[in-house]
Structure 1
Amino acid sequence: MNGAVRPTERTQDAFARLLVRMSPELGDDQEVGWQAVEAKGFRFPGDYQLFMQHYGAGTVEDTLTVIPPPSGDDLEHDWMLRDTYLACDFWPPEAPGTAGDWPVERQLAERPPLIAWAVTTAGDLVCWLSEEDDPDQWPVAVWGRQEGPDHWTIVPHGMSGFLLGLFNAELDKDPLSDSGLWDKPSPRFISETAKERMRAAGIHPWTGEPDPLAGISFDD
């Protein structure tokens, strides 16, 4: 991994507990050049940086997909910036730190009040509420697609604490539209790279069985 990771002690402890609860066996080091990322104006919590090192971008239980940080030069179509734009657009105008319009060029010049870091198969957006200058102090904000256009849930934990709260059913309620991660004793994570390897071998990533769609082209 490139660049130094300096998570706070509390953040590092939460991530250590996450490593025990969710195996990184099918994870991959995203090999993020964090200095280059920060040079573009982006800063992220220490446990997110550790997550990219141990797990990488990928999916938990075929339910929640963790998004990689912005990289390369084609930021106009970057996944995180695009979903951050959507999250800010959904943030209710009466809420503290009103987001307003945050196209990519504005995100490159300023830190938006919300930063998307995960999406769910149900269409939820999982973000950081980034009002504090210290990224390790950012709580999680969830936009629940099935809860209505203005439905946001603020969870007073960082990324690792949020995931552990789901797996241990320790939050006030499940903020996600799909309950697939709630009270999950042994959640399974598969990185995008590992999924590609499995599919190339003709194996369905989530069942471990032969993939009936392996080798079929949908371009014809």
Structure 2
Amino acid sequence: MTALERLRHLMQPSSMGTFIDWDDIAVAYGTRFPSDYRNFLSVYGSGEIDGMLAVFAPSVDPYAPSRHTSRLPADVLDLPEVNEWNDPLHAELYGPADIMVWGETAEADVLGWITSNHEPGTWPVAVYTHGGEWTVYDCTMTEFLLQLLTGEFDGNPTGLTRLYGKGSAEFTTG
């Protein structure tokens, strides 16, 4: 059973997913996106998990009214604290310019992928805890969400104490 199939047992989609022209997105972003993320959006769309964790969709509209999947803004890349990593090896391998943000939490944690590898299916998840540092998780986005809900990480990867290990959640499209 895939992580997405397991997620569907813990978190029912609130409506239809979002249709996205992935070819247009690949051209606009200069890269393809991981298949698990594309499948997640086709089932759930963009929205929030228990009002605490937002999952973004990519957009070709630079004036899109809501948050969307994107690189970290240039002004953020210049902040020294954004280049803090919990593992010194990761600090040598990656930089904030490698991050593609796909979500955020109510605690101001940033969720993204490290996109330095050209194969999207291998992009690990990176989490920046508010006021902290980047931590890398060797899993897909859907595996990350599943492990967050089931409490399968060694410790809570975000500031969401009410969501970590909760076992089930409500997804609201938005």
Find the partner of 1:70 among 54, 59, 69.
59
Corresponding letter in the other structure for 1:184: K
User: Could you tell me which of 120, 142, 147 is aligned with 2:105?
Assistant: 120
Instruction: Quote the residue 2:84 is aligned against.
Output: 92
Output one character per residue of 1:91-111: Cα deviation in whole Å (capped at 9) or x when no partner. Answer: 3387134436xxxxxxxxxxx
Are 2:169 and 1:180 aligned? no
**TM-score when scaled to structure 2?**
0.83
Cα distance in 2 for residues equivalent to 1:60 and 1:78:
15
Mapping of 1:39-58 within 5 angstroms? 39-40=27-28, 41-58=30-47
The structure 1 segments of at least 4 consecutive aligned residues displaced by more than 6 Å after TM superposition are none
Q: What letter matches 2:95 in structure 1? A: A
Are positions 1:61 and 2:50 aligned together?
yes
* Structure-1-length-normalised TM-score: 0.67
Match of 2:129 in 1: 144
Residue 26 of structure 2: which of 32, 38, 57 is its match?
38
Q: How many residues align?
A: 164
What's the % identity of the aligned pairs? 27
2:5 corresponds in structure 1 to 16
What is the root-mean-square deviation in Å for CA atoms of aligned residues? 2.4
Query: Which residue matches 1:106?
Result: none
Q: SS at the partner of 1:163?
A: helix
1:165 corresponds in structure 2 to: 147
Question: C-alpha separation between the residues in 1 aligned to 2:103 and 2:114?
Answer: 13
Structure with more relative contact order (C-alpha pairs < 8 Å, separation 6 or more): 2
Structure whose alpha-carbon radius of gyration is higher: 1
Q: Which runs of 5+ in 2 are unaligned?
A: none
* Runs of 5+ unmatched residues, structure 1: 1-11, 101-111, 193-220
The one-letter code of the counterpart of 1:59 is E
In structure 2, how many angstroms separate the alpha carbons of the residues matched to 1:114 and 1:171? 21
State the AA in 1 paired with 2:114: L
**Following the alignment from structure 1 to structure 2, what is the Cα–Cα distance between the partners of residues 22 and 152?**
27
Q: Tell me the secondary structure at the aligned position of residue 2 of structure 2.
A: helix
SS at match of 1:176: coil
